[in-house]
Copies of this chain bind each other. A is one copy, B any other.
């Protein structure tokens, strides 16, 4: 019965060790190499992806009366894939019907199935990379990493936490209460994991797998049934995921409707009806603060876990590596055209400039240095396309237009022309914190502000205040004054934002590594949950006991 658990037990054990120690560890290789994934893996993945285009997506046994789907690749072509679509009541009924047997399965059975699914998804990483690329606009290399192995690592991390929580209370115990000189009272007790019920996973367009896997696998491992509601522009990566889970479920004798896809069309989304449905017990949401707020207020008794958005800040106080700093910031601003919840938006710089290894740099020197580093990074169009990817949503292009007037343009956004792809390099605007608060609004996409402040301390204070008020998922500081670094550490902690200090090499503020970095703290308006901690998992099930006198 637990053959899958036995097979994947070493992976689980390593994941459990990793989350306890939080050093570097990864279960799924991030390098899209033929040596790792097989020499034909890249071609095979593309072929598998291409074979899905222009036809209905097969999900055997999935409820659905309509076939819908209108995905268009940010790199150009329409995908032409349709997905089975059922009304909300049908999905809920199918999910409930599949629930009992899944709830009664052992923790080991469910965890074994989850890790088997992740192993299969890992082998499909090239196909998933294409699916992610052509729904999110991520360049291929990023789509592979973030959409494939990194997402799988995040899923495994959630499964590991789920297993740890489910096995924390023993399945049984003997309770022997002394009664002075009399015979003790002896009770036999047994505890059982009882899942909450239906878990709704609401995906986003930009990271359909990375942001959905933690909630999906945490709920699945703990015995809940799942309804996956993808963003209508990024259905395919989650449809493939659902398909793999359903395959493994069916092979193991479970109703595949334990996991369902709630595909919908852009103007006819079913999210509101799903959130309001009182049969839904858990909601994982990734998306805007405005809709996140609506979800939190309308979820009734359902547990809600959100990753929303924030305004991320970098404070530049001083550096021993001016070139490295500028290059590092340039990459963070350019990567996937800033369409990341972890991308920095505001760079606070003292009006009087900073001290560096290259001597004093004025405010304009710092702004110019970052702009020049972006120019250098993106000088080659092919490389630029590989870093920036494509703009996923036309609203982002409009947002760039609107932002140009908000301050002094240090570096204009420019289209990267590779075919007719909508992409854009970073727009960099200088503002003064005393004169505007334009930078305090989240402006998703390749839009950044170099914000003049009185001094480094003021920058730290402003960044923390912004995090507390508007939310922030990441923060960074460049400084060499250890007292000021300590103050920034304190301010960031109080504002509930993770702080990266003096990153100059191949690691960036945007990056959050599974098994080590918690993503989002849940301690400011950028989200109420953290990927993945115990709190993210422990309340997805309940523990119920029976007890009886033990026969002598």
Taking Cβ atoms with an 8 Å cutoff, the residues of A that contact B are 20-24, 165, 168-170, 173-179, 185, 187, 189-192, 194, 196, 296, 301, 489, 492-494, 496-507, 513, 516-518, 521-523, 528, 530, 533-535, 538-539, 542-549
Contacts and interface: CB of A to CB of B under 8 A. Distances in A.
A165 B23 CA distance: 19
B506 A179 contact: yes
A505 B187 CA distance: 11
A105 to B, nearest CB: 14
A547 B501 contact: yes
Contacts of A179: 506
A175 B499 contact: no
B545 A175 contact: no
A15 to B, nearest CB: 15
A6 to B, nearest CB: 24
Contact of A192 (B20, B196, B493, B513): B493
Given A538-B533, A545-B517, A175 B24 contact: yes
27 contacts: A20-B170, A21-B170, A21-B173, A22-B169, A23-B174, A24-B175, A24-B178, A165-B534, A173-B516, A177-B507, A177-B513, A179-B506, A187-B507, A194-B494, A194-B523, A296-B301, A301-B528, A489-B546, A492-B546, A496-B542, A499-B546, A517-B545, A518-B545, A521-B542, A534-B538, A535-B538, A538-B538
A302 to B, nearest CB: 11
Instruction: Identify the interface centre among A196, A499, A504: most chain B CB within 10 Å of its CB.
Output: A499
Count identical subunits in the complex. Answer: 2
Nearest to A489: B546
Contacts of A518: 191, 543, 545
A498 B547 contact: yes
Given A23-B173, A498-B546, A168 B534 contact: yes
Instruction: Identify the interface centre among A189, A493, A528: most chain B CB within 10 Å of its CB.
Output: A493
Contacts of A175: 22-24, 513, 516
B24 A176 contact: yes
A176 B545 CA distance: 43
Contact of A546 (B173, B496, B500, B533): B500
A502 B544 contact: no
Contacts of A533: 169, 538, 543
B544 A496 contact: yes
A22 B189 contact: yes
A194 B545 contact: no
A388 to B, nearest CB: 23
